Amino acid sequence: MSIVFALSAISKSFGKNNQVNIIINANLQIKKGEIVALIGPSGSGKSTLLHIAGLLDTPSSGSVFINNIECSATTSDREKTYLRRNFLGFVYQFHHLLQEFSVLENVMLPQIIIGKSNEVARKNAIELLSLVKLQDKLLMSISQLSGGERQRVAIARSLINYPSIILADEPTGSLDNDTALEVFSLLHKYAKEKNISVFLATHNHILAKKADKIVQINSGTLQNYTDY
């Protein structure tokens, strides 16, 4: 399978004279359709690494490759925005849905932003919301949904532009165990069906073991995790 996403020698430091090392020479390759789980203790750098992977933060050194396009500290904000909108999908622990918009409008929005017509965006959004079993809640407001339903909307939104990879930062962290498994199963199922890669940060080792590969970050160092 082709490599759709890679981290190459990524390091991130903070503080005076960059004395605090958060990420140290991280390297990772993710194949098309591959689901990779990132585990590690709180404060180990999982979210920082996901933010760098999603071009939301800039590494101190190293590069991110998305479909063989290199992004580094010198890449312009304009190019990063283009890559995020067209090749990346995001799911967070807290859904970041727009309260003033309906379920349908929230899922349509990423397609409107990249220039799709309302008709096309609506059609694609309805299809995805049907896949995540929310076809009967299209016009509801976000406040009317349960936590699990909101995360299902977030998953549909992350898939709407058919990204190369979904970056998921603790997407089930605020949910109970049963709902967490349901939400993760949906993400896993539709990512596999559409051959979309997933890079998932999680504290939940039960969910992590359902990934194709697990990597662990500890004290800023990224390594393969084989203790199943």
Whether 171 has a binding-site annotation, put simply, is no
Whether 42 has a binding-site annotation, put simply, is yes
pLDDT score, position 75? 87
Whether 47 has a binding-site annotation, put simply, is yes
pLDDT score, position 205? 86
pLDDT score, position 29? 96
pLDDT score, position 169? 86
Whether 43 has a binding-site annotation, put simply, is yes
* CATH code of the domain containing 44: 3.40.50.300
User: Are 11 and 72 within 8 A, CB to CB?
Assistant: no
Q: What is the pLDDT of residues 187-206, one digit of tens each?
A: 888 888 889 999 999 888 88
As for how many domains the chain has, the answer is: 1
Rounded-to-integer distance, Cα 49 and Cα 11, Å: 9
Bridge-based pairing state of the strands 197-201 and 88-92: unpaired
Whether 192 has a binding-site annotation, put simply, is no
In Å, how far from its chain's centre is CA 101?
22
Distances (CA, A) of 187 to 75, 191, 214: 30, 6, 17
For residue 100, count other CB atoms closer than 10 A to its CB.
9
Whether 72 has a binding-site annotation, put simply, is no
- Domain limits at 68? 3-224
pLDDT score, position 158? 86
Whether 117 has a binding-site annotation, put simply, is no
pLDDT score, position 42? 82
**Residue segments in the chain with a per-residue pLDDT below the cut of 50:** 228
pLDDT score, position 4? 95
